[in-house]
């Protein structure tokens, strides 16, 4: 049966929307907000579908669920009897409401909380990293201020999928018959078996490949195939690929920051992403300066002191986790 993708029925049957309702994340909220913005009337359908999904998962009582079903049946009966109404309601809406009742009853018969694959979400705090074992034996190291969502089991699934916000390093078990996909705001990264690093911060997505081969699909912004040592950067203007030394981009796994010709702007951004530290540089031209340094990430203040020393600057603590370089 084919569903229009802007109906309550479609949303109730969507595993992605089910996961969002039961375990919402910042990434899933943004994804579904974007989805709704492109479809008139989607908000009302999402609210109704969300209510039904929560009911099916046991968040509403049996009596509340029965009341919902009876209400839909009464509305359908009243529509058949009524020949004059103060508010015009299209026949398509009545068909949709009747179909919703059908979906509610049929799904209730076979879908119990025990049959729903649990959704796992792991998040890290500022300054924290965590290693995670994925259902297929692959490993993921999550950097600070990041989160990842995936199904607890991939048994019987045609794809191995995770949803990432932040930064992660992955070592993926080879399985040619089941591609591994990392979903981010900006792109989908498709692999068969490989080691790579992904950064998804705000509107910036950077994919660095160590071993194997990956395809970076940025939808209308282009597609790129990466070889070991390649790095893809995704912007609103498209995808650019360059050969780099990948070691500096995975050093964070060993609690080290390695900068090889990186701009001070990039360093300031990383401090904000990973440690919730705000740094204001009064001389904006300094943000374009390039720095080469190796520092331990367990002391971000040391990095600021090093920057000040390199350029003969003054660093001041101007508040809680706020610094100024002059």
Residues near 91 by Cβ (< 8 Å), separated by ≥ 6?
none
Q: What is the pLDDT, as a whole number, of residue 154?
A: 93
Domains assigned to the chain:
8-115 (no CATH), 131-248 (2.60.120.1440), 255-325 (3.55.50.30)
Place of tokens 């009742």: 101
Of 225, 212, 175, 216, residue with least CA distance to 198: 216
CB 151 within 8 A of CB 135: yes
Reduced 3-state DSSP string for 51-82: HHHHHHCCCCCHHHHHHHHHHHHHHHHHHHHC
Contacts of 200 (CB under 8 A, 6+ apart): 164, 165, 166, 167, 184, 185, 186
- Per-residue pLDDT tens for 188-246? 999 978 999 999 987 789 999 999 999 998 877 788 899 999 999 987 778 899 998 88
Residue 73's pLDDT is 46
Q: By the 8 A CB rule, do 213 and 226 touch?
A: yes
Residue 84 has pLDDT above 60, yes or no: no
Mean pLDDT (the chain) is 77
- Tell me how far apart the alpha carbons of residues 273 and 194 are, in angstroms, rounded to a whole number: 26
291: tokens are: 């720095």
Q: What is the pLDDT of residue 138?
A: 94
Polymer length in residues for the chain: 326
Question: Could you read off the pLDDT of 37-82 as tens digits, one per residue?
Answer: 888 888 888 888 887 776 655 544 455 445 544 444 443 444 344 3
Helices (H) and strands (E) in the chain — how many of each?
A: 9, 18
pLDDT for position 147: 93
Q: In 94-252, at which residue ranges do the beta strands (DSSP E only) sit? A: 119-123, 130-133, 139-142, 147-151, 160-171, 180-183, 188-191, 195-201, 204-211, 214-217, 223-226, 230-235, 238-243
Give me the pLDDT at residue 55, please: 61
Quote the CA–CA distance of 20 and 27 in Å, as a whole number: 9
**Average pLDDT, stretch 141-145?**
94
Q: What is the pLDDT of residue 105?
A: 42
């Amino acid at each position: 049966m084919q569903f229009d993708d802007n109906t309550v029925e479609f949303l109730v049957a969507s595993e992605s929307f089910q996961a969002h309702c039961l375990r919402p994340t910042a990434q899933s909220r943004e994804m579904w907000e974007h989805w709704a913005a492109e479809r008139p009337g989607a908000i009302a359908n999402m609210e109704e579908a969300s209510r039904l999904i929560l009911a099916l998962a046991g968040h509403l009582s049996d009596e509340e669920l029965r009341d919902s079903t009876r209400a839909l049946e009464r509305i359908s009966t009243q529509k058949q009897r009524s020949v004059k109404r103060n508010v015009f309601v299209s026949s398509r809406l009545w068909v949709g409401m009747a179909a919703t009742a059908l979906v509610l009853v049929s799904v209730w018969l076979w879908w119990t909380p025990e049959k729903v694959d649990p959704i796992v979400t792991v998040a890290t705090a500022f300054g924290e990293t965590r290693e995670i074992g994925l259902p297929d034996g692959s490993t993921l190291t999550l950097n600070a201020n990041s989160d990842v969502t995936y199904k607890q089991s991939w048994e019987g699934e045609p794809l191995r999928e995770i949803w990432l916000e932040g930064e992660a390093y992955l070592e993926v078990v080879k399985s040619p018959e089941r591609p591994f996909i990392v979903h981010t705001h900006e792109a989908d990264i498709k692999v068969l078996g490989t080691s790579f690093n992904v950064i998804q911060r705000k509107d910036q997505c950077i994919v660095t490949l160590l071993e194997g081969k990956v395809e970076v699909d940025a939808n209308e912004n282009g597609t790129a195939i990466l070889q070991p040592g390649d790095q893809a950067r995704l912007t609103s203007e498209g995808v650019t690929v360059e050969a780099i030394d990948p070691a500096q981009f995975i050093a964070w796994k060993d609690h080290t920051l390695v900068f090889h010709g990186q701009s001070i702007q990039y360093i300031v951004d990383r401090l904000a992403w990973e440690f919730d530290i705000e740094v204001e540089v009064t001389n904006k031209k300094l943000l374009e300066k390039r720095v080469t340094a190796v520092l331990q990430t367990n002391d971000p203040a040391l990095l600021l002191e090093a920057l000040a020393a390199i350029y003969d600057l003054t660093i001041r603590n101007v508040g809680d986790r706020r610094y100024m370089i002059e």
